[in-house]
Homo-oligomer: A and B are copies of this chain.
């Protein structure tokens, strides 16, 4: 996957690589989706570990470290990172995979609460998801070449600037926009 990319990934190639036959993979995992999910879950774990490592060796600018870590990982593992989003499973997402995703979001949530301590817990979670989506959008356009194609050389700096905009705007605020209730 890391070498071929999601588009050219095949269960048979995996079987050959690990010295087993195709059938074994399907006996163990079940189907193709499960194979992808297993790979993507490992990617999520590595990604989360990378983010924690980035945070460990940084000082105050923890949100910036998070964004840098996001880009670092995506740029270092474009195919693995891409597979996370190129794969759309049909049917429900298994609980164990959702937990893996939640863990990644929890890291962001934790740091948002540090950066904006005045926010209510629920608002902090909403802001964390929003920041993650924002950075994801920039990274997606960066890695698929959209930014490069329109002559924008440093998407990472732009994403950092946007996050700064948002955090500056949020600081001192105790609640963020939310649906009517």
Contacts and interface: CB of A to CB of B under 8 A. Distances in A.
A39 interface: no
Contact of A130 (B101, B130, B138, B178): B138
Is chain A's binding surface mostly helix, strand, loop or mixed? helix
A23 interface: no
A3 interface: no
Interface residues of A, number: 52
Contact of A160 (B154, B166, B177): B177
A82 interface: yes
B138 A133 contact: yes
A105 B147 CA distance: 11
Interface stretch (A41-49, A56-64, A84-92): A84-92
Interface of A: 5-7, 82, 85-86, 88, 90, 93, 98, 101-102, 105, 125-126, 129-130, 132-138, 140-141, 144-147, 149-150, 152-155, 157-162, 164-166, 168-170, 176-179
